[in-house]
């Protein structure tokens, strides 16, 4: 019996071909192209070296990698076919969490690119002196470049500061430079200090050539004057939460700040969206964190969870979003699914 199953197995080269075809379909490339000579040779060598006994009985189609590839192909197709409508008015998201390194920038950047690719007009405002969102979106932001600092401190209109991102023709960015680090101090004596960004955005909405459907404001990891400006300017707060033990710690402080802003300067501000990031399905702790967050924020937490995946971390070093760096990867598809979910969900007041 075992012998006959072994006999019916695909040869390794055929299985590799099938795997390549699945990946090509995901990337919309022609399937079954003849391989360059070099690749054929190296595949042959690989074939010779492998022991047949190492192959799973069901052949490569049943291997976890093949399953993941075909699942990703299906999800990518769904994402491509998904239709979303423009919001009736501009949705302004502040992406905030005073905890560092939880995926604020990664989420702002990739959600923005995903929505822009779906035909939405998107503006990203980099409000972090680190300038990570500017880097990931391929935007110049060395000292000397006019940035969000000039809008906040010197009232320069955003229309004079925006740069087009190579990521999508529908995506523009107001960059940040290290100059922004001094803005907190410079804003402090001003009477309208927490309204500076709101005023700049309002002017932009009245004067921009094409009104944005979505604005994402990428905040620094603090609850200082910059983040207060972002909360005052936004219609919604999006909190990325990393799936780890201390996930919910600090959220109380964040909610207190949001409530204070609601009472003082922006009564309409909604904590609409929580996005779980860097999820690793192999650990029980990650699953427990997901359940915990969902039980605290049942309406705000997105169904889509972003997996921990190396491509997501590599993409910024190529000045790219993961969506343009490795579109058929689990991380890229998850961000596209999250963007569609956000577009369809609308605002839920939290």
**String of contacts with ligand ATP for each residue 310-329, x by CB under 6 A:** --xx--x-------------
Minimum distance between the CB of residue 222 and Mg ion, rounded to whole angstroms? 11
Q: Given the complex with ligand ATP, which of 35 and 75 has the nearer CB atom?
A: 75
Contact call for residues 90 and 212 (beta carbons, < 8 A): yes
Map residue 87 onto helix, strand or coil.
coil
> Distance (Å, rounded) from C-alpha 198 to C-alpha 314?
33
Among 11, 56, 101, 298, binds ligand ATP (CB under 6 A): 101
For position 106 contacting ligand ATP by CB under 6 A, the verdict is yes
Task: State phi, psi for 279 to the nearest 5 degrees.
Answer: -80, 135
Extract the tokens encoding 54: 């190492």
Q: Among 15-23, 70-78, 102-110, 338-346, which window interacts with ligand ATP (CB under 6 A)? A: 102-110
Minimum distance between the CB of residue 220 and Mg ion, rounded to whole angstroms? 7
Contact call for residues 145 and 175 (beta carbons, < 8 A): yes
Minimum distance between the CB of residue 276 and ligand ATP, rounded to whole angstroms? 10
Extract the tokens encoding 229: 């400006």
Q: CB under 5 to 8 A by kind: which of Mg ion, ligand ATP, none does 101 bind?
A: ligand ATP
Q: How far is CA 110 from the centre of its chain?
A: 3
Closest CA to 105 of 346, 335, 303, 293: 335
Pairing type for strands 270-279 and 301-307 reads parallel
Q: How many residues belong to the site for ligand ATP (CB under 6 A)?
A: 19
Q: Given the complex with ligand ATP, which of 105 and 301 has the nearer CB atom?
A: 105
Minimum distance between the CB of residue 258 and ligand ATP, rounded to whole angstroms? 17
Minimum distance between the CB of residue 227 and ligand ATP, rounded to whole angstroms? 11
Extract the tokens encoding 233: 């300017």
For position 331 contacting ligand ATP by CB under 6 A, the verdict is yes
Among 308, 323, 332, 339, binds ligand ATP (CB under 6 A): 308
DSSP structure string for 210-230: S--SEEEEE--SS-SHHHHHH
Q: CB under 5 to 8 A by kind: which of ligand ATP, Mg ion, none does 350 bind?
A: none
Contacting residues toward Mg ion, per CB under 5 A? 104-105, 132
Q: Given the complex with ligand ATP, which of 240 and 350 has the nearer CB atom?
A: 240
Extract the tokens encoding 47: 């074939």
Among 72, 94, 300, 309, binds ligand ATP (CB under 6 A): 309
Question: Which residues, numbered 113-172, are part of the site for ligand ATP (CB under 6 A)?
Answer: 128, 132
DSSP structure string for 134-174: HHHTT---STTS--HHHHHHH---GGGT-EE-TT-TTEEEE
Task: State phi, psi for 222 to the nearest 5 degrees.
Answer: -160, 170
Residues that bind ligand ATP in the complex, under the rule CB under 6 A: 100-106, 128, 132, 221, 277-278, 306, 308-309, 312-313, 316, 331
């Amino acid at each position: 019996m075992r012998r006959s199953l072994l006999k019916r197995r695909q040869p390794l080269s055929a299985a590799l071909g099938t795997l390549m075809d699945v990946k090509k379909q995901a990337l919309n490339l022609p399937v079954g192209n003849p391989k360059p000579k070099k690749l054929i040779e190296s595949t042959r060598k690989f074939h010779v070296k492998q022991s047949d006994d190492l192959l799973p009985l069901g052949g490569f189609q049943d291997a976890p990698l093949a399953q993941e590839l075909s699942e990703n192909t299906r999800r990518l197709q769904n994402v491509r076919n998904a239709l979303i409508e423009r919001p009736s008015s501009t949705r302004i998201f502040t992406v905030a969490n005073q905890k560092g390194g939880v995926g604020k920038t990664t989420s702002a950047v990739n959600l923005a690119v995903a929505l822009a690719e779906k035909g939405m007009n998107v503006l990203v405002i980099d409000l972090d002196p680190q300038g990570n969102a500017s880097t990931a979106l391929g935007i110049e932001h060395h000292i000397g470049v006019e940035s969000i600092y000039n809008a906040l401190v010197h009232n320069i209109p955003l229309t004079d500061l925006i740069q087009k991102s190579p990521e999508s023709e529908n995506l523009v960015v107001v960059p940040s430079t290290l100059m922004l680090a001094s803005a907190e101090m410079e804003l402090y004596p001003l009477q309208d200090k927490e309204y500076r960004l709101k005023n700049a955005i309002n002017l932009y909405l009245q004067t921009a050539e094409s009104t944005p459907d979505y604005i994402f404001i990428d905040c620094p990891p603090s609850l200082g004057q910059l983040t207060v400006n972002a909360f005052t300017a936004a219609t919604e707060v999006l909190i990325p939460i990393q799936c780890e033990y201390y996930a919910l710690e600090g959220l109380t402080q964040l909610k207190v700040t949001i409530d204070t802003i609601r009472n003082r300067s922006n009564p309409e501000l909604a904590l609409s969206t929580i996005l779980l990031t860097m999820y690793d399905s192999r650990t029980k702790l990650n699953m427990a964190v997901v359940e915990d967050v969902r039980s605290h924020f049942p309406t705000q937490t997105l169904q889509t969870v972003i997996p921990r995946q190396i491509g997501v971390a590599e993409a910024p070093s190529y000045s790219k979003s993961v969506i343009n760096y490795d579109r058929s990867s689990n991380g890229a598809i998850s961000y596209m699914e999250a963007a569609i979910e956000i577009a369809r969900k609308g605002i839920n007041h939290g």
